[in-house]
């Protein structure tokens, strides 16, 4: 290299240092992707194949809201079936080859109503439009074209009664009256309602069974809620059931269960390290096909060679991505296949098995270049009590675990809390990484998929050991030299919002900024304002979270709004006014407590939102404000 080039390089580096931007920061600034590209509605998504395999449907924006479209396989023209402009379609399915059913609520109140529309966009009708009533789908009844089984809390807001609904006439027949403790219902392969799952004595789970719909339900097995027997589907004689169970073991496994006598007959598949989460079968061939579980990625165990060969065939062309079959025709010869990765929302394909033809339908977000996205690394660290905590670390593009040093970090605890983070594309995480932040996600104790013992270690540990796991993860990142200890923020939604608030209470100097999104702030008031249909599970919540009477000392110590005097961290709070799960009073309390003390707090309320912002323009507002807030406090 010439001397003059060396001098110019040195001068450029000095200029960058003086003006606060190093060369890699310049590159990030040049590669900055517009915020809207991460959070705009997908171009097309949620593809499904019609039962006869001749059409596929999808959701796409119309007037900035996700609506349903239908297109004939092999043709270009699509028909828009719905014209919703106030709220996205929440979910939909094909009821028969001609008619689609879909769910929609109002303003985020989660009182979903069921609507029907023909595939040509005609004959649109609301089937369950009752004020203050929520609709559940119990069984789509694939084998019965004009009927579905739904649950409604119409008679009693706290419980859901099952109804057989004629989707042509709107006529409903109640199949059983919920005595007040039934939380789930299940049908056999003939669409007959034969199993009920109840909560008894507050904390015990009971399976009830009947041979036919003329009989009364009778209890066949009662266990503590910590033990799981989740019937998945009947065997093909409608006698025993395939179930996910952890009876007598730490991890859930696929079993055959004698439903009439409440006994486990045989373990079909168990994993030593992870819970089995789901099991699948072929309706056409009447065989159990596969089970899935999640290590750091989704993994499958195959019972059926034909299904294994199908996935092998798909992986032959799509093996650079993770994939899943999201829909199939009744004849099981036409499939909708979805791909994804940590750096891509992926694409949808239609696979014609008869002709062995795999055809790409559409990229979900074609404006996002996966080559500009960040990699998500699986990590694990040891908490202070010796428990190993798994998680994920996302680093800005171009950095690796070896080269990442002294980065600004956003710690992102998940909601639930009895849920988990997964490997895959997360627009929030990719957005933050694109802005130069490392993002730490951890599956703290209580996260699902790691067995019963790992789950139970979270009981009555909100704000205590669960919070310690988050803190220990942050300290692990500091010790490794990846995090700049002076530029760490915490951001989470729902329980993650609670963990954010508790984090700035118990470790007030650890975080330079905090973002609470629809988070709990006061455990006393949270327990009083839960949705009415959670009330039958209140005793269970007392055992898992705590009892506001007998655990009042702990609740007072672990309610951020009651300990706001300890908060010195700048805070941004976002809340939907219609949130039925975390009442707006939760956000009001923490904001008012901090304002009284003169602590910096920004507060965003969206009047037409509930538990999280679903409308595109509100997402833009939220993430734009968050970007500015984090930049002010982490990039000085």
Average pLDDT of the residues in 434-461: 98
The C-alpha atoms of residue 567 and residue 597 are separated, in whole angstroms, by 10
* pLDDT for the residue numbered 3: 33
pLDDT tens digits, one per residue of 53-86: 999 999 999 999 999 999 999 999 999 999 999 9
The total number of structural domains in the chain stands at: 1
Q: List, in sequence order, the alpha helices (H) in 31-162.
A: 35-39
Which domain CATH number covers 527?
Answer: 3.40.50.1820
In a domain, 326, yes or no: no
In a domain, 515, yes or no: yes
3-state secondary structure of 142: coil
Residue 5 has pLDDT above 90, yes or no: no
Residue 21 has pLDDT above 50, yes or no: no
The C-alpha atoms of residue 370 and residue 401 are separated, in whole angstroms, by 20
* pLDDT for the residue numbered 507: 97
**Size (the chain), residues:** 636
DSSP 107: T
Average pLDDT of the residues in 546-561: 96
625 is in which domain, residue-wise? 375-634
Residue 15 has pLDDT above 60, yes or no: no
Q: What is the pLDDT confidence band of residue 22, given thresholds at 50, 70 and 90?
A: very low
pLDDT tens digits, one per residue of 293-318: 999 999 999 999 999 999 999 999 99
Residue 381's contacts (CB-CB under 8 Å, 6 or more residues apart) are 388, 389, 391, 442, 472, 473, 476
In a domain, 465, yes or no: yes
* pLDDT for the residue numbered 28: 58
**Which has more confidence, 143 or 464?**
464
In a domain, 83, yes or no: no
Residue 385's contacts (CB-CB under 8 Å, 6 or more residues apart) are 465, 468
The C-alpha atoms of residue 225 and residue 210 are separated, in whole angstroms, by 22
Residue 221's contacts (CB-CB under 8 Å, 6 or more residues apart) are 206, 207, 229, 262
Residue 386 has pLDDT above 60, yes or no: yes
Q: What is the pLDDT confidence band of residue 537, given thresholds at 50, 70 and 90?
A: confident
In a domain, 323, yes or no: no
Q: What is the pLDDT confidence band of residue 533, given thresholds at 50, 70 and 90?
A: confident
Average pLDDT of the residues in 157-163: 93
* pLDDT for the residue numbered 94: 97
**595 φ, ψ (degrees, to nearest 5):** -60, -35
**11 φ, ψ (degrees, to nearest 5):** -65, -40
Average pLDDT of the residues in 143-168: 94
Average pLDDT of the residues in 560-570: 96
Residue 16 has pLDDT above 50, yes or no: no
Average pLDDT of the residues in 241-256: 97
Region for residue 494 given its phi and psi (left: phi exceeds 0; alpha: psi -120 to 50; beta: otherwise): left
In a domain, 24, yes or no: no
In a domain, 616, yes or no: yes
* pLDDT for the residue numbered 530: 82
With beta carbons less than 8 A apart as the criterion, state whether 625 and 613 touch: no
Residue 590 has pLDDT above 80, yes or no: yes
3-state secondary structure of 633: helix
* pLDDT for the residue numbered 382: 98
* pLDDT for the residue numbered 13: 31
Residue 18 has pLDDT above 70, yes or no: no
Provide the mean pLDDT of the chain.
Answer: 93
3-state secondary structure of 504: helix
pLDDT tens digits, one per residue of 207-226: 999 999 999 999 999 999 99
In a domain, 510, yes or no: yes
């Amino acid at each position: 290299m010439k001397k003059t080039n060396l001098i110019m390089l040195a001068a450029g580096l000095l200029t960058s240092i003086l003006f606060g931007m190093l060369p890699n920061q310049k590159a990030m600034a040049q590669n900055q992707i517009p915020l809207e590209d991460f959070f705009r509605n997908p171009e097309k998504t949620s593809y499904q194949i019609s039962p006869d395999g001749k059409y596929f449907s999808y959701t796409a924006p119309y007037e900035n809201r996700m609506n349903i479209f239908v297109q004939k396989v092999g043709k270009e023209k699509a028909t828009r079936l719905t014209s919703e402009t106030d709220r996205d379609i929440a979910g939909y399915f094909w009821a028969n080859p001609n008619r689609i059913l879909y769910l929609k609520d109002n303003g985020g109140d989660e009182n979903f109503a069921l609507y029907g529309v023909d595939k040509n966009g005609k004959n649109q009708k609301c089937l369950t439009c009752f004020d203050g009533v929520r609709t559940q789908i119990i069984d789509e009844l694939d084998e019965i074209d004009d009927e579905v089984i739904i649950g409604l809390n119409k008679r009693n807001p706290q419980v859901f009664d099952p109804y057989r609904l004629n989707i042509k006439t709107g006529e409903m027949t109640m199949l059983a009256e919920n005595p007040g403790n039934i939380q789930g219902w299940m049908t056999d392969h003939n669409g007959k309602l034969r199993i009920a799952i109840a909560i008894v004595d507050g904390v015990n789970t009971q399976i009830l069974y009947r041979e036919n719909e003329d009989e009364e339900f009778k209890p066949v097995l009662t266990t503590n809620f910590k033990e799981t027997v989740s019937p998945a589907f009947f065997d093909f004689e409608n006698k025993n059931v395939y179930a996910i169970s952890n009876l007598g073991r730490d991890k859930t496994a696929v079993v055959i269960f004698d439903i009439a006598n409440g006994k486990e007959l045989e373990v079909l598949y168990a994993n030593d390290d992870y819970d089995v989460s789901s099991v699948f079968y072929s309706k056409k061939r009447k065989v159990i096909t596969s089970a899935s579980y999640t290590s750091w990625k989704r993994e499958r165990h195959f019972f059926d060679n034909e299904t294994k060969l199908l996935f092998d065939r798909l992986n032959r062309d799509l093996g650079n991505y993770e994939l899943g079959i999201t829909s199939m025709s009744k004849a099981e010869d036409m499939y909708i296949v979805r791909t994804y990765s940590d750096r891509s929302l992926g694409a949808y394909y239609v696979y014609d098995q008869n002709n062995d033809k795999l055809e790409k339908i559409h990229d979900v977000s074609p404006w996002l270049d996966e080559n500009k996205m960040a990699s998500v690394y699986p990590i694990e660290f040891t908490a202070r009590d010796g428990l190993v905590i798994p998680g994920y670390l996302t680093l800005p593009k171009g950095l690796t675990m070896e080269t990442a040093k002294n980065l600004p970090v956003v710690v992102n605890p998940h909601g639930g809390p009895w849920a988990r983070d997964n490997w895959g594309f997360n627009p929030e995480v990719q957005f933050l990484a694109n802005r130069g932040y490392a993002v730490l996600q951890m599956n703290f104790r209580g996260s699902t998929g790691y067995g019963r013992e790992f789950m139970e270690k979270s009981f009555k540990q909100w704000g205590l050991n669960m919070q310690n796991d988050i803190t220990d993860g942050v300290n692990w990142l500091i010790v490794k030299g990846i995090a700049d200890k002076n530029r760490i923020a915490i951001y989470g939604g729902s329980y993650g919002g609670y963990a954010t608030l508790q984090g700035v209470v118990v470790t007030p100097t650890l975080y330079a900024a905090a973002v609470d999104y629809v988070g709990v702030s006061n455990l006393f008031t949270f327990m009083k304002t839960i949705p009415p249909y959670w009330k039958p599970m209140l005793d269970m919540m007392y055992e898992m979270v705590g009892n506001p009477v007998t655990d009042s000392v702990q609740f007072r110590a672990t309610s951020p709004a009651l300990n706001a005097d300890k908060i010195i961290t700048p805070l941004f709070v976002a809340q939907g006014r219609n949130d039925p799960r975390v009442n707006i009073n939760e956000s009001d309390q923490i904001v008012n407590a901090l304002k009284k003390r003169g602590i910096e707090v920004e507060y965003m309320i969206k009047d037409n939102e509930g538990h999280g912002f679903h409308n595109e323009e509100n997402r833009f507002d939220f993430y734009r404000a968050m970007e500015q807030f984090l930049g002010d406090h982490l990039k000085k």
